[in-house]
């Protein structure tokens, strides 16, 4: 009777001829084996993922800051635009400092964008 030897850590399986072919780190399964469980991301992968997200958010911030800074540079900014510009710049600073968080990159405390605060 054939079946599957499923790894105890859930990382995969292999076809076997019977229970005698199952290793000590495996269990025997007659039915379709379960889908493999994804490995947790490595520290380096978490770091890259966080930096990619940060860069995406920095790009959004730059797109919001540009027109507001233009209004300031041309002496045509309103009081609301000045305050909004300051919020975006503070947000951008916070994004650039995520690596200083003690739990980075495992648990990142992402700053809230001014769009989320004001809407």
Beta bridge partners of 66: none
Q: What per-residue confidence (pLDDT) applies to 1?
A: 62
Q: What is the pLDDT of residues 37-66, one digit of tens each?
A: 888 899 999 999 999 999 999 999 999 999
What is the residue range of 26's domain?
Answer: 1-38
In a shared domain, residues 89 and 64:
yes
Q: Is the domain of 54 the same as that of 13?
A: no
Spans of the chain, pLDDT less than 50: none
What pTM did the predictor assign? 0.72
Q: Do residue 16 and residue 62 come from a single domain?
A: no
Burial annotation 2-21 (CB, 10 A radius, 16+ → b, else e) = ebbbbbeeeeebeebeeeee
Domains of the chain: total = 2
DSSP assignment of 39-97 equals: PPPPHHHHHHHHHHHHHHHHHHHHHHHHHHHHHHHTT---HHHHHHHHHHHHHHHHHHT
């Amino acid at each position: 009777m054939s079946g599957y030897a499923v790894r105890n850590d859930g990382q995969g399986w292999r076809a076997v001829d019977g229970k005698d072919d199952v290793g000590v780190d495996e269990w025997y399964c007659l039915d379709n084996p379960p889908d493999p469980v994804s490995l947790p991301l490595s520290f380096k992968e978490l770091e890259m993922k966080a930096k990619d997200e940060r860069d995406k958010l920095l790009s959004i911030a730059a797109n919001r800051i540009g027109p507001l800074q233009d209004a300031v540079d041309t002496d045509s900014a309103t009081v609301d635009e000045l305050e909004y510009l300051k919020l975006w710049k503070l947000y951008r600073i916070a994004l650039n400092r995520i690596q200083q968080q003690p739990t980075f990159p495992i648990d990142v405390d992402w700053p809230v964008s001014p769009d989320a605060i004001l809407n």
